[in-house]
Every structure is written in C-alpha cells, then in structure tokens.
Amino acid sequence: MVSSKKRASGGSALEVERVQTGVRMEKRILKVLKALAELHDMSLGDLLEGIVLHAFEGKSPFSAKTLGQVAELKRIYGLDLAAAASHKLREATSNECRDRRQAEPRPGRRTRGQ
C-alpha cells in the first residue's frame, strides 16, 4: 500500500491510500491506455483513477482533443472493440493466442511464398 497526495480540483492535495492490483485487461486496451497516460505525462494508475472517478459521476473523462488522441491510438494498436463489447469479452485459450500471433503479419518479416 502506498500513500499519495492527489490534487483536488480546488488545488489542495487529498491524501489517499493506494494498493497494488493484478487486474487482467485486454491487451490492446492496455496499450492504448499506457500510450494515453504517456501523452499526458501521468502514470497509468492516475489515468485509470481519473477515468473511474469521472464515470462514477456520469461525466466524460476526456476532452474532444483527448478523444481524438484515443481514436488515433486505437487505430495504431488495432483496437476495434467498442463499448457494446464490454460484457461479451472472454479470455482466449493459450492455443487461440498462439494461433492468432502466428497468423498476424509482422512488419519487416517475410511470410512463406514471398
């Protein structure tokens, strides 16, 4: 557990207690989140806390500019999932993951017959 002081919108710091978590998440979603956090010079944890706190109040966590950045990052990382998929995701078996990786073309790598 880590104690940290977060800035409230009024400018004063709020002291919180953070815990380490081992949350599993879809691979491309995590890539987009990490890249977005990097773009905004914040930790992944800070980004997730902000998203969740906004969602709890029914507010959008992102400005129009940030939504544009999200769209571009989704394109870069091949994230084609939408909100409608959120309760339909299931963990792929290790064989399915291996097969998917083998089928994906890799930049700079030649496939058979080339």
Per-residue pLDDT at 14: 92
pLDDT band for 60, please (50, 70, 90 cuts).
very high
Helix (H) or strand (E) holding 109: none
Say what the alpha-carbon torsion angle 53, 25, 108, 37 is, to the nearest 10 degrees. 20
12-30: per-residue pLDDT in tens?
A: 889 999 999 999 999 999 9
Look at residue 70 and tell me whether its pLDDT is greater than 90.
yes
Per-residue pLDDT at 5: 53
Q: What are the structure tokens assigned to 108, written together? A: 């700079």
Confirm if 50 and 66 have CB atoms less than 8 A apart.
Answer: no
CA distances from 88 to 9, 26, 39, 83 (A): 36, 12, 29, 10
d(C-alpha 35, C-alpha 64), whole Å? 17
73-114: per-residue pLDDT in tens?
A: 999 999 999 999 989 999 988 777 777 667 766 655 555 555
Helix (H) or strand (E) holding 114: none
pTM of the model: 0.74
Q: Domain limits of the chain?
A: 23-83
Q: Which amino acid belongs to residue 80?
A: D
Per-residue pLDDT at 2: 45
